[in-house]
Structure 1
Amino acid sequence: MKTQSLIVLFLVFVMSCKSNQNNVEMKTVKSVLIAKGNLHGAGSEGFTKENSVIDNQSDWESLMARMNKVNNVSESFTETKIDFSKYAIIAVFNDVKGSGGHSIELNISTTSENTLVTVKYISPSGNATSVMTQPYYITKIPKQNLPIVFE
């Protein structure tokens, strides 16, 4: 009987811990899409699969210069002048792919402890063009005093 009581108490404890973890309040962060698409330099732009947080003008200009190495990609950005006292840039790049149709989607939310950027890499379904591409996604979010975590 004592063993059964201990098991029940243990299960109640474990379930209460799990329910507390699930009660973390997550709020969606309003982001502004600056650009998404594919680089077509077959990797010559120098990006690997990477996630970046840009919080100053110098790094922003450096990113745009790298992206423009083969094609003037930044001319299609919705904006290039960023007020870094109010905003930060999230830039995500995937690996170079051997075909078209690949893309990236982001979901950005915040808790009391961090800003969480969930990255979803999307592959083509069905036939795709036979051209080397490198998907990217760049967005602007309000500056916060929370660490930014990618998953």
Structure 2
Amino acid sequence: MKQLKLVLILLLVTFLGCNDEDMSQLETNIDYIEIAKSALYGNGEEGISQSNMVIRNETDWEKLKNQMDSYNDVTDNFNETDIDFDANILIAVFLEIKRNGYEVNIKKVTQTENIVSVSTTENAFMSSVICQPFCIIKIPKTEKNITFE
């Protein structure tokens, strides 16, 4: 009888231990709103290098918009420009300058206990225009580390 109790206790501890570990790595999707997806056409004149940006305040957002508009007025076509940074942050992905048509897409945004992960894809299409694709999204404010895949 003691052996049966011991086996049951060991099994219970084993299952509970596995569940706690699995819960800490549980990945959930984060809903996001696309602010803009387009390309810069200034052949690098905007001075924005290939980068992944996290924008957490109005000052940085205004600076980026001004930089993006330095060659062409691209922000006029944004879905939204007034961002509530008390409740949201922005994620901006800029590809390198491409000699053919390209676009960048945010495939998904997920989170675990400590990390927000942004997955992107690049798609090529037929074009002879030099461009620098970008995508900007809005997600709920978080202090978690943000990684890009």
TM-score of the two chains, using structure 1 as the length reference: 0.80
CA–CA separation in structure 1 for the residues paired with 2:96 and 2:71: 17
The amino acid that maps onto 1:112 is: E
Count of equivalent residues? 128
| Cα RMSD, aligned residues only | 1.6
Give the unaligned 5+ runs of structure 2. Answer: 1-17
Give the match for residue 103 of structure 1: 103
1:143 to 135, 141, 144: 141
Q: Find the residue that maps to 2:61 and give its secondary structure.
A: helix
Q: Helix, strand or coil for the counterpart of 1:123?
A: strand
Q: Could you say which residue in structure 2 is the equivalent of 1:83?
A: 84
Which residue number corresponds to residue 64 of structure 2?
63
Residue 144 of structure 1 deviates from its aligned partner by 1.3
Q: Secondary structure at the match of 1:145?
A: coil
Structure 1 SS opposite 2:99: coil
The runs of at least 4 consecutive aligned structure 1 residues that moved more than 2 Å come to none
Higher strand content, 1 or 2: 2
Please tell me whether Structure 1 or Structure 2 has the larger radius of gyration of its CA atoms.
2
Alignment-derived partner of residue 39 in structure 1 = 40
Aligned partners of 2:100 and 2:124 also within 8 Å: no
Pair 1:114 & 2:112 matched: no
User: Which residue is equivalent to 2:13?
Assistant: none
- The secondary structure found in structure 2 opposite 1:65 is helix
Question: 1: CA distance between counterparts of 2:59 and 2:148?
Answer: 23
- TM-score w.r.t. structure 2 length? 0.81
Q: How far has the Cα of 1:129 moved from its partner?
A: 1.8
Unaligned 5+ segments in structure 1 are: 1-16
Amino acid at match of 1:54: I
- SS at structure 2 position matched to 1:35: strand
After TM superposition, give the deviation of residue 65 of structure 1 in Å: 0.4
- Give the Å deviation of 1:122: 1.9
